[in-house]
Amino acid sequence: MTLLPAPSQKKLGLVIDLDICVGCHACAVNCKEWNTGGYGAPLGDVDAYGVSPEGAWLNRIHTFEVLPKNAQAGNPAQIVHFPKSCLHCQDAPCVTVCPTGASYKRADDGIVLVDEEKCIGCGLCAWACPYGAREMDPVENVMKKCTLCIDRIYNDNLPEVDRVPACVRTCPAHARHFGDLGDPESEVSLMVAERGGFELMPEAGTRPVNKYLPPRPKTAPKAKQVARPENNETEALDATGFLGWLDRALEKLG
């Protein structure tokens, strides 16, 4: 069993804005590309173009249709794209369950990593993770996970603008943000405070560093009242515009 270090003042992590994530998967693809040629062994794939593809992805995007509680009051259902990767928990169960010390948490910045030389592929960390954020590499048979692109963020050979995780650098909607969530005055901490950012599954007691910004409520545009001079009537024109009017007109014709 591996012990966790004393809590670090610096807590590097991600803030993901669910309001503007468009589910394009650019973060997942660039994550795969960077980590295949970066830190640790390449991310393996088996039968990638066959009928039963299998591979290790450190970042995955799930898509849900969410129906608000007050949907009948005019708030429509909305699509929410939910990116998920390792959350670099402060009380990381994947670390404490590891029998070889392969899974560990850095004391200076809180990043959770895997020493692939020590990993025996037992999968205990994957069972312990309540978020399903661990990936067994089908080729190397070692556990893989998000590293926050540690080989980028501390790389002085890269331009400063590139010293962020690959997923953050590539996001076209700027839905992903990186910084020190242990500093209450950092940009990411202020963003969380302003938008009511939340942690995933707080009931698990893992205290994840990564936070999510909630999607803003979506409301259906109100119908417009359009006067019809020819018959002195007022007709409601709904949010579908001309096509909505055409549909109603055809209904009147029978």
pLDDT of 150 over the 70 cut: yes
Calculate the CA dihedral of residues 120, 121, 126, 132 and round it to 10 degrees: 140
Residue 74 has pLDDT above 80, yes or no: no
pLDDT at 133 over 70: yes
| Residue 219 confidence (pLDDT) | 65
pLDDT-derived band at 216 (thresholds 50, 70, 90) equals confident
Q: Which pLDDT score is estimated for 239?
A: 47
Which domains does the chain possess? 12-213 (3.30.70.20), 221-254 (no CATH)
pLDDT band, very low/low/confident/very high, at 233 (cuts 50, 70, 90): low
Question: Binning pLDDT at 50, 70 and 90, where does residue 57 land?
Answer: very high
pLDDT on residue 252: 72
Task: Give me 237's structure tokens.
Answer: 């024109």
Neighbour count for residue 46 (Cβ, 10 Å): 13
Calculated CA dihedral for residues 149, 150, 152, 157, nearest 10 degrees: -170
**Sheet (strand 176-180) strand order:** 176-180, 12-17, 211-213
**Sorting pLDDT into bands at 50, 70 and 90, what band is 223?**
low
Alpha-carbon gap, residue 57 to 97, rounded angstroms: 22
| Closest by Cα among 113, 69, 71 to 88 | 113
Residues 6+ apart with CB under 8 A from 213: 15, 16, 17, 18, 19, 191, 192, 195, 196, 197
Assign 25 to helix, strand or coil: coil
Mean local confidence (pLDDT), 159-176: 96
